[in-house]
Amino acid sequence: AKEKEHINVAIIGHVDHGKSTLIGRLLYEAGQIPPHIIEQYRKEAEQKGKATFEFAWVMDRLKEERERGVTIDVAHRKIETNKYIVTIIDCPGHRDFIKNMITGTSQADAAILVVDVAECVQPQTKEHVFLARTLGINQIIVAMNKMDRVNYDQKKFEECKEKVAKLLKLVGYKIEEVPFIPVSAYYGDNVYKRSDKMPWYNGPTIFEAFDMLKPPVKLIDKPLRIPIQDVYSIKGVGTVPVGRVESGVLRVGDKVIFEPPGVVGEVKSIEMHHEPLQEAKPGDNIGFNVRGVSKKDIRRGDVTGHLDNPPTVAKDFTAQIIVLQHPTAITVGYTPVVHAHTAQVACRFVELQKKIDPRTGAVKEENPQFLKTGDAAIVKLEPTRPMVIERVKDIPPLGRFAVRDMGMTIAAGMVIDVTPRK
Ligand code: GDP
């Protein structure tokens, strides 16, 4: 049988609109909670004299993990459809919500926007849609959630749908291609199973909508790039960097370089989900053992590439940004932290080149003195320490970034050009 393609889907939306409930419902009904765990819970429930209530247990567990701030093991959040292995990327809800959302969505091929029909478009709904678009997520599924709260009423659905459609159109989504699905994550309507409470709806369920997504663009023919998430030193094995292959192919025996430090090593082995691999492709989350590199030579934020086509270390870079929120104004000299792939580096705004219309790209003002909330602009940034970043055109996942300051996301951007450090 042909191997199924992998696709990463981020869950976005305003707090309390039902993101984690939807994830729990999907995993549970798609049978992705291991049977032995369900069995264990069933026994516990029996002992306590309770009726079996597995879904509630799944929810409690997800909640517990979130509250502990655990990045939930991605391996446990996969759903197999007819066409895809779907990995659900969660964007936890408490501290640093937006930052996590950015690291999540920067790897996403599509997004599910969860909207509580009763509350409809809220501030984070707007912000996330803006970010998703800027970060290059071109496919979106809208889960119009909590339909049970409006008695599964079609009119309520249509009213809110219109508002969400307007928002999506504004940032440039092709609305004809976006499924709007009336669901109740809590009761399971139109999530995995078709609901009999909304006979007026004949579109796909969330589960079915996954198979309508276009497969992600393969980055397999691009140069190798693996942003490092962590580095381990394992007894009897050696140095093991861990990260997701964003582009290119890594093979056992390859000579690799880590930038910015510029250290070089040879790949002795590759592992994914505790299984050895001969080669790793875009989308694979791997650990790989490199000879010739010590744990202290490299760190999170460095990027692995092949020796003959190393990752670009930027002297400066030109980017298109959207200012999401800034209490006053951005001027030349402002130095917030740029989050790109797994790196976080303070970067200085050295030029404000032009203000542009975010939808059409038309120039509104040359060399503006400042930028304010809502502005889109072309700017030049200079990292305060060496940093790898690529043109979004060349290697999309390494060309997107978020600008953070004062505990919030100031702007999101895409790299148009890079001046390499000599
Ligand atoms: P998140 O912050 O977006 O992850 O939202 P949660 O999944 O934690 O849900 C927030 C609240 O809304 C919880 O109390 C859920 O039980 C409730 N909720 C989620 N989905 C539904 C739904 O479909 N119907 C109803 N009535 N409540 C829901």
Span 341-349, average pLDDT: 96
pLDDT score of 71 = 46
User: 247 CB under 6 A from ligand 1?
Assistant: no
User: 404 CB under 6 A from ligand 1?
Assistant: no
Residue 239 has pLDDT above 90, yes or no: yes
Residue 29 has pLDDT above 90, yes or no: no
CA dist 338 and 411 (Å) reads 9
CA dist 168 and 364 (Å) reads 23
Q: pLDDT band at residue 216, thresholds of 50, 70 and 90?
A: confident
Note the pLDDT tens digit of each residue in 250-265: 999 999 999 999 999 9
Between the CA of 374 and the centroid of ligand 1 the distance, in Å, is: 30
Residue 362 has pLDDT above 90, yes or no: no
pTM of the full predicted structure?
0.68
User: 139 CB under 6 A from ligand 1?
Assistant: no
Taking the CA atoms of residue 287, residue 291, residue 297 and residue 298 in that order, the dihedral angle to the nearest 10 degrees is -20
Q: What single DSSP character describes residue 384?
A: S
Between the CA of 94 and the centroid of ligand 1 the distance, in Å, is: 15
Between the CA of 163 and the centroid of ligand 1 the distance, in Å, is: 21
pLDDT score of 23 = 87
Between the CA of 407 and the centroid of ligand 1 the distance, in Å, is: 26
User: 184 CB under 6 A from ligand 1?
Assistant: yes
Higher-confidence position of 212 and 323: 212
User: 55 CB under 6 A from ligand 1?
Assistant: no
Instruction: Classify residue 337 as exposed, middle or buried by CB count within 10 Å of its CB (0-12, 13-18, 19+).
Output: middle
Q: Ligand 1, from 12, 16, 26, 58: best to mutate by most atoms within 8 Å of Cβ?
A: 16
Q: Ligand 1, from 88, 186, 192: best to mutate by most atoms within 8 Å of Cβ?
A: 186
Most confident of 102-116, 241-255, 358-372: 241-255
- Segments in 68-153 forming alpha helices (H): 97-105, 123-134
Q: pLDDT band at residue 31, thresholds of 50, 70 and 90?
A: confident
CA dist 223 and 179 (Å) reads 34
Span 379-396, average pLDDT: 94
Residue the block writes with tokens 């050895």: 276
User: 19 CB under 6 A from ligand 1?
Assistant: yes
ipTM > 0.90, yes or no: yes
Between the CA of 187 and the centroid of ligand 1 the distance, in Å, is: 10
Residue the block writes with tokens 């030029």: 351
pLDDT score of 96 = 42
% residues pLDDT > 70 (the chain)? 85
CA dist 185 and 22 (Å) reads 5
Residue 409 has pLDDT above 90, yes or no: no
Question: Lowest mean pLDDT: which of 93-102, 166-175, 222-231?
Answer: 93-102
What are the CA-CA distances from residue 325 to residues 124, 317, 409 (Å)?
12, 22, 7
% residues pLDDT > 90 (the chain)? 59
User: 125 CB under 6 A from ligand 1?
Assistant: no
Span 353-363, average pLDDT: 76
**E-strand spans in 253-368?**
255-259, 263-272, 275-277, 279-280, 285-291, 303-306, 314-323, 337-340, 343-356, 363-366
Closest CA to 23 of 69, 92, 82: 92
Nearest CA to ligand 1 atom 9: 18
| Sign of the C-alpha dihedral computed for residues 404, 405, 409 and 411 taken in this order | negative
Between the CA of 18 and the centroid of ligand 1 the distance, in Å, is: 4
Q: Ligand 1, from 19, 21, 192: best to mutate by most atoms within 8 Å of Cβ?
A: 21
Note the pLDDT tens digit of each residue in 53-97: 556 666 666 666 656 655 444 345 789 999 999 988 776 543 344
Note the pLDDT tens digit of each residue in 43-62: 776 776 655 455 666 666 66
Residue 371 CA to chain centroid, in angstroms? Answer: 27
Span 304-327, average pLDDT: 94
Mean pLDDT, the chain, integer: 87
Higher-confidence position of 422 and 336: 336
